[in-house]
């Protein structure tokens, strides 16, 4: 009888020890604590002297995303973007691309023109497409809290306003930089 009571006692102690709860069931997964959305405006003029490239220093993790938008009037258009110049001035195909490349230390916004001589632009075209161009650089986590894996696309990066809303960005705190 003593042996049975001993086993029952050990079983009861083991059961209560196993079923204890310390209320630490909350598990946070996929939270990106090293990146938060950041915006900066870079304004500069493209010319042969800077190889038609504007460079802005940044500091991001390899897993983060860089988005670049060009100011066009009162709107922002995502780049890469092909610009088709007025065919009325010249019937030949006249186009070039705003493009960008980045690494963890810098973003280079450039004009790609493999078949177009940018030196042939008129003064009005230089003022419209090369001089004092403003680009908004937006740094965001690549997959905030693993949202894309669970809910689909998350945000349309081509829509600047959707990005601002999705990441709750404060446009009043955008830093402005003169580059090149």
Query: Is the distance from CB of 59 to CB of 104 less than 8 angstroms?
Result: yes
pTM over 0.85: no
Q: Is the peptide bond before 51 cis (omega within 30 degrees of 0)?
A: no
d(C-alpha 23, C-alpha 67), whole Å? 41
**Comparing 18 with 54, which gets the higher pLDDT?**
54
d(C-alpha 141, C-alpha 61), whole Å? 9
| Boundaries of every domain in the chain | 37-178
Greatest mean pLDDT range, 86-90, 93-97, 173-177 = 173-177
Is the confidence at residue 11, as pLDDT, over 80? no
Q: Alpha helices, DSSP H only, in the chain?
A: 2-18, 123-129, 147-151, 160-166
Using pLDDT thresholds of 50, 70 and 90, give the confidence band for residue 22.
low
Rg of the chain (C-alpha set): 27
């Amino acid at each position: 009888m003593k042996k049975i009571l001993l086993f029952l006692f050990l079983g009861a102690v083991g059961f209560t020890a196993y079923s204890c709860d310390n209320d630490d069931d909350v598990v946070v997964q996929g939270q990106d604590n090293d990146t938060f959305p950041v915006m900066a405006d870079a304004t500069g003029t493209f010319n042969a002297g800077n190889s038609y490239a504007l460079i802005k220093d940044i500091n991001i993790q390899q897993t983060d995303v860089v988005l670049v938008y060009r100011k066009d009037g009162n709107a922002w258009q995502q780049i890469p973007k092909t610009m088709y110049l007025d065919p009325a001035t010249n019937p030949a195909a006249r186009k070039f691309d705003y493009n960008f490349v980045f690494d963890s230390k810098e973003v280079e916004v450039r004009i790609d023109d493999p078949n177009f001589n940018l030196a042939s632009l008129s003064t009005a075209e230089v003022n419209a497409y090369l001089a004092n161009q403003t680009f908004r650089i937006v740094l965001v986590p690549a997959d905030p809290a693993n949202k894309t894996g669970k809910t689909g696309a998350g945000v349309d990066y081509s829509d600047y306003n959707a990005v601002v809303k999705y990441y709750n960005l404060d446009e009043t705190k955008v830093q402005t930089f003169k580059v090149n």
